Structure 1
């Protein structure tokens, strides 16, 4: 409810003046400036989860306005790439496997972060990996509907489970207050140069949104169509030499593998992705009362994707491409069919998502909310050949990998009670959480990998995990400058119905598992002045094994894309002890923050991946590492109008020392750096508002060297399966408001054309142009 007050003018005087005007009298009404008073319920509705539930974690945010000015957002996950100590493993536009790396966890530990949109879980806790089962469902949110993104670091709130060890990403979206319509066209062109082979890959995206509000009812519809081409994601190498003779070839490129000890030859590129994706999202909301709102979200994601290859090999006599059969290179004979070295693949996917919420926002003594989400893999098939390319082109034999009917559902009930007492106000929050994750992963033989039906069963992996939790937390302001937050979370976890069938036809019914753990939390905040705030936090958290870590065992892909995944049904839960001391200084137009953090994880679950050039495949398995310790510091700051009007600066830098303390399973890893957690990570953005219609920005991202193996044996980072030497990537963006409705934007990501690898080669210089319409 908004009240407009005219200071110094009574209601009677206002009525008298208005009447005098209507009669044509000389007395005229006095025009005074308006003052807007916002009701408590409206303030409560606009609060973030951190504000509403008084969560103690350090939080960094980015708003819709800043995103439009500084970030080339092609997909939703781009929104967080300049926030402190965050890396999204986005290999190409349209990538469907994009986990998040945070302070103390790498991109292979996707289950150590939680991602929400309006209270609905986007994280896929089916897996703890950088594959499809572990990557978040970013596509449930359209970039155009983002209002803000808040990142809470660490597991310091009882409101979130142990998967918040790294942190929580909370996306807030907007609903229309009146009729609105919009649309946009984006185009991107990416340069590519690896092993002396160059190309340009283009992508286009078309978006539209429509929405309105009619009294208490509001609705919004978003649709997008993406047609994207990626750089190669994998590479093929000469297999082990054989004694048979073959055709003489040229074109193989010498290279050093990630261990730095073996001379190998790259013979071609694989997984050159062509992705066609369609996203549809419907969102409905109804104000049951001024303080009680119900909402429903329906999402549909469709993906038609193919992966091709390009052979470097040429017949030494005719110059024709060679991708199969027996060859002779450098005086040695090889059989390209023994991998196979080259293979295509195809994905057909359709995923449904449902989100429901009922929220009370009175801002008074008590508020509550009930949210639920359902994700279902309605269709999810990968087809790949098991024969050489010359036979595959004709529709030869292959395998079909299915995840149909895989998915999960979640339910959360929360409440907050705000009593006053003689010793200061309390904010007592509490809740109940339930989730169930179900894996259905079958592989079938097929006589025709392109169009054939499912033949005999090759492998089967099935299982479920379930968590039920209750939590309680009290933020007690016992002095105007001091707030003590104490909380705890009790979690009951179960794993059941685990079944594995191998290619030999043998079936193993895995034993059911259950566990009960309690996680205490404590935080003390001191705000001596309006400019300073100091916070110290301690927390324990348990991250239970995911259903794929426990039960998934399969061959994924073939040739250069092959990944043999082995389950481990005996995994223990991770136990994290986390602490943080932070100081914040608030400026008139900005803020500065310094945080010291420490984390010790017992029984850390890590998926070890070993790559074999001889078979051109990888082997992955999950294991417990006895103890990993991480400590470091993080500095973050932002300020508007620095030196001159319109110049905004923001930046952050993090140093983290993360090492393996104990590991009985692999003693050679003790004392080594935790994989995919760099010692240094930083980003910075400079934005200049040249005029009210024109804005330009420059951003930089830096990371020191990472390792991919737990024994840090991958000493050569700048090759396929290496995890990257230090890299510094610079991005630019310019936005011009052509008219009230039309906006033209252009930018360049990786303007310096930095070439860096994190297992895969990452995008090189990419040009982006965008035209948006909003009514």
Structure 2
């Protein structure tokens, strides 16, 4: 069945994927195997290398906040903690992968987004909606998969690059790639540093200073064809970051304000083997290792340092079979996690085994996709999740999609075992989701209108009487997203907008979920020049009884290719110097600051 359609009317009101993805794009995150984007029923956003060049963002959280259904809760200057929310779910309810391997702290259950270097990223795929039936724990809101830079076919290259901007921001890097008949390799190394700005509104002398950030990062990617049917791949990314931040500590009833710093080491490695048994049968396996090592320090006495080091090992195998219009997969995941810490946890390791299967078929104008997964975990026993979706082509270009699924979030080591807080009886959070969508692919773009509901039970919080972790709450999220992207000659337009109503069991709004967001970007190519402008706005964000205010941020950028070897680019963010916040700390009655007007100049030279 031909699912690539002709030019159709574009809904000019709101929403789009901030990418130039077209109907021929192939994605892997939505199904765990290579699938044309036209044959995935999930809401998928693809961010390409061109998008990274367009927005010139300094951190992953800021880039992701430009997408439909994505919220960002920032805690100050570059390198500060960032929580990324998908469809109103919490950061710990979102699964993050790097080249197929998880990136998560076992202690908090969250991902250190500031430690994942944008400079070493080539592509990002974001799937919104329940994904536990394919990936297991923490897939309530969706999955974000980062793909590191990989070698291009038959394109040897050596380059250097550098950037300078506001707050003494500087970034320098170099990389290379080469290819032979059977082997391709690419490597990059970068240094990023900034003096930063004051992260909070805390007014003591120790917290009035700027909070700087520095990071060294590198990646290596190699793939070699051992035979016509057998491909071996190696991916490795590593970063070492140091971020300063403001904080208030309490000794008894006395508040002591300290200028803290966090040293974070992130390592993510994988070895994969893909075997094409025939034209209809494929087998792939991957082993991986991930490390999230965080040390909090007052910068003075190492005896006060606290360390939380997660080390995980993963192994998975997947068989894919294509029989006419039917595609079936069967997979196995094994994930072992260990936590080392200066805190004495009651338990410091756990093992998870997951078995999953998926089936997709198209008959005439109808499509059907379903997946089922069984997980067994040494900490919380067993769990079963499933997803079912169906589609119908209303005409040659308009598709109606309906889906429903269950998902869960595993309790973190803090919630299970932290001394004085954890409780081994805490159970996983559970969710049920339904979605109804209209979608249309066009010659120059696509649009999708999605309405969804997520009901989550067993939400983990603190017992008001014992101040220990417990399953204490429920949440209900209603959302409406409209995504549009379209090419008009030399112009390309991307718009996305999201309406979110996220409430707990008492009908109180959940913290840090804006009620409405809008992002619009317009690009124009003129000869060797590329011009970009974008607008990001939101309203209705609250934290408890504190309204954080509405805002609109304007960005401008340009890029010129001087020749085949040299590229210059410039970017101005928050052109109107909007004063806004996305986070508030009720314990210290302080706000987390955000960047004012800022600029950046960059250059890249290929030898």
Bucket of the pairwise TM-score, normalised by the shorter protein? 0.7 to 0.9
In the TM superposition, what is the alpha-carbon distance from 1:746 to its structure 2 partner?
0.7
Distance 1:145 1:182 in 2: 16
Match of 1:732 among 548, 556, 560: 556
Match of 1:230 among 196, 203, 207: 196
User: 1:63 and 2:48 equivalent?
Assistant: yes
Distance 1:170 1:597 in 2: 22
Distance 1:575 1:524 in 2: 23
Matches within 5 A, 1:109-148: 109-124=90-105, 126-129=107-110, 134-136=111-113, 139=116, 143=119, 145-146=121-122, 148=123
In the TM superposition, what is the alpha-carbon distance from 1:621 to its structure 2 partner?
6.4
Equivalent position of 2:518 in the other structure = 682
Equivalent position of 1:253 in the other structure = none
Query: Could you state the TM-score of these two structures normalised by the residue count of structure 2?
Result: 0.85
Match of 1:206 among 172, 176, 190: 172
Distance 1:297 1:363 in 2: 26
Distance 1:307 1:287 in 2: 47
Distance 1:746 1:229 in 2: 20
Match of 2:567 among 712, 734, 743: 743
Distance 2:91 2:521 in 1: 26
Match of 2:365 among 462, 475, 481: 481
In the TM superposition, what is the alpha-carbon distance from 1:142 to its structure 2 partner?
5.0
Distance 2:259 2:207 in 1: 11
In the TM superposition, what is the alpha-carbon distance from 1:744 to its structure 2 partner?
0.8
Task: Note closer, same or farther for the CA distance 1:592–1:305 as it changes in structure 2 (3 Å cut).
Answer: closer
Between 218-227 and 526-535, report the one with greater CA deviation: 526-535
Asked if structure 2 preserves the Cα contact closer than 8 Å seen for 1:440 and 1:461, the reply is no
1:115-165 CA deviation, whole Å, 9 max, x = no partner?
A: 223323234454245xxxx424753x653550x322211015732224221
Equivalent position of 1:673 in the other structure = 509
Distance 1:580 1:308 in 2: 41
Distance 1:214 1:338 in 2: 66
Distance 2:251 2:275 in 1: 64
In the TM superposition, what is the alpha-carbon distance from 1:338 to its structure 2 partner?
7.1
Distance 1:349 1:138 in 2: 7
Partner secondary structure for residue 52 of structure 2: helix
Distance 1:483 1:281 in 2: 39
Equivalent position of 1:627 in the other structure = 474
Equivalent position of 1:3 in the other structure = none
1:284-325 CA deviation, whole Å, 9 max, x = no partner?
A: 211122342111223332234555899xxxxxxxxxxxxxxx
Partner secondary structure for residue 343 of structure 1: strand
Partner secondary structure for residue 194 of structure 2: strand
Equivalent position of 2:156 in the other structure = 179
Distance 1:396 1:62 in 2: 43
Asked if structure 2 preserves the Cα contact closer than 8 Å seen for 1:467 and 1:492, the reply is yes
Match of 1:152 among 117, 127, 146: 127
Query: Could you state the TM-score of these two structures normalised by the residue count of structure 1?
Result: 0.68
Partner secondary structure for residue 135 of structure 2: coil
Equivalent position of 2:342 in the other structure = 442
What is the total number of aligned residue pairs between the two structures?
Answer: 568
Task: Note closer, same or farther for the CA distance 1:336–1:369 as it changes in structure 2 (3 Å cut).
Answer: closer
Distance 1:205 1:622 in 2: 42
Equivalent position of 2:494 in the other structure = 650
Match of 1:529 among 395, 400, 407: 395
Where do 5+ consecutive residues of structure 2 fail to align? 1-23, 585-591
In the TM superposition, what is the alpha-carbon distance from 1:540 to its structure 2 partner?
1.0
Equivalent position of 1:700 in the other structure = 535
Task: Note closer, same or farther for the CA distance 1:397–1:737 as it changes in structure 2 (3 Å cut).
Answer: closer
User: 1:48 and 2:28 equivalent?
Assistant: yes
Distance 1:571 1:640 in 2: 50
Question: Relative contact order: is structure 1 or structure 2 higher (C-alpha 8 Å, sep ≥ 6)?
Answer: 2
Match of 2:355 among 470, 474, 478: 470
Partner secondary structure for residue 67 of structure 1: helix
1:333-389 CA deviation, whole Å, 9 max, x = no partner?
A: xx9997453323344444433222112357821112212221235x6433227xxxx
Distance 2:233 2:462 in 1: 38
Asked if structure 2 preserves the Cα contact closer than 8 Å seen for 1:583 and 1:595, the reply is yes
User: 1:163 and 2:138 equivalent?
Assistant: yes
